[in-house]
Amino acid sequence: MIQNIKAEILASRKIGHDIFLLKLNAPSITETAQPGQFVHIRCSETTDPLLRRPISIHDINSDGELTLIYHVKGKGTSWLSKREAGKKLDILGPIGRGFTLTENKRVALVAGGLGSIPLFFLAKKAAEKNNEVDFFIGAQSKGCLLRIDELKALNINLYIATDDGSEGFKGFITQLWEQYLKNGKVYDRAYSCGPKPQMAAFSRLAIKASLPAEVSLEENMACGIGACRGCVTTIQDSYGNKHYENVCTCGPVFDATTVCWGD
């Protein structure tokens, strides 16, 4: 059930260029949080900006600590970056449909850019459930790769690609994943989060490999609870019939075969 709480900030620090890590005390949210879900944060003490900002759940721990990572984009995230430890934040969560977790399987996680933020929590949970986890992480360059040391500390296999070749494979992360698939690597399920073209390429590869796959979509959100229809995306069923679904409550995680990528 979605909680509306005033969560104390335990830590807030810059971890990259315009990238911040925020630790909150939020046991009533971490109690039920699932990988792929997000929280909706009030980013003002006034009415500007009026709308909450959605941020994915990056990690949780058994002490009720909720970790978020965000890129400062505009007014809301800029306000958030100036909040210090000890202050309280008005947050709603956990919200949305998360990823489908498997046990004792082989899974691939394919992340690009900020898409690695929610997939970190998924990788951790999947490893805890005794899955063999291959985490493919891509970024523009080495300096944009997020939380590599923390990922290495998880019980997973890590594969890196950068657009400029400054770390790992030179090229898109989907190109690297495609090489593994072509070389006969077999998975039971795959997951992706990142820029739309990357998730579209991921979905095509997963469908070609007849692999059950899920993607986490991003749309601008207003209410975050299914009331305003401001976040709809086009979804198609197996007969090709199209309809709209709210990303906030029906997603943000969707079956990759049902998403219309507009190409």
Ligand X SMILES: Cc1cc2nc3c(=O)[nH]c(=O)nc-3n(C[C@H](O)[C@H](O)[C@H](O)COP(=O)(O)OP(=O)(O)OC[C@H]3O[C@@H](n4cnc5c(N)ncnc54)[C@H](O)[C@@H]3O)c2cc1C
Binding positions for ligand FES, rule: CB under 6 A = 221-224, 226-231, 246, 248
- The span from the CA of 16 to the CA of 211, in Å, is 34
Q: Stretches 50-58, 100-108, 139-147, 178-186: which one binds ligand X (CB under 6 A)? A: 50-58
Nearer residue to ligand X within complex by CB, 246 or 258:
246
Single out the residue of 21, 36, 111 nearest to residue 68, CA to CA: 21
- The span from the CA of 59 to the CA of 128, in Å, is 13
Q: Answer with the entry of ligand X, ligand FES, none that 188 interacts with (C-beta below 5 to 8 A by kind).
A: none
- The span from the CA of 114 to the CA of 104, in Å, is 27
> What is the total residue count of the chain?
263
- The span from the CA of 70 to the CA of 49, in Å, is 17
Query: Do 205 and 227 form a contact (C-beta atoms < 8 A)?
Result: no
Nearer residue to ligand X within complex by CB, 173 or 217:
217
Single out the residue of 207, 218, 219, 217 nearest to residue 257, CA to CA: 207
Query: Do 61 and 51 form a contact (C-beta atoms < 8 A)?
Result: no
Q: Answer with the entry of ligand X, ligand FES, none that 227 interacts with (C-beta below 5 to 8 A by kind).
A: ligand FES
* Residue closest to ligand X when measured from CB atoms: 74
Q: Which of 56, 116, 233, 246 binds ligand X (CB under 6 A)?
A: 56
Q: Stretches 46-54, 102-110, 144-152, 201-209: which one binds ligand X (CB under 6 A)? A: 46-54
74 contacts ligand X (rule: CB under 6 A): yes
Nearer residue to ligand FES within complex by CB, 15 or 227:
227
53 contacts ligand X (rule: CB under 6 A): yes
**Quick one: which H or E segment has residue 1?**
none
Tokens coding 112: 């690009």
Q: Which of 60, 70, 109, 202 binds ligand X (CB under 6 A)?
A: 70
Residue ranges binding ligand X (CB under 6 A): 38, 49, 53-56, 69-71, 73-77, 114, 117, 218-221, 252
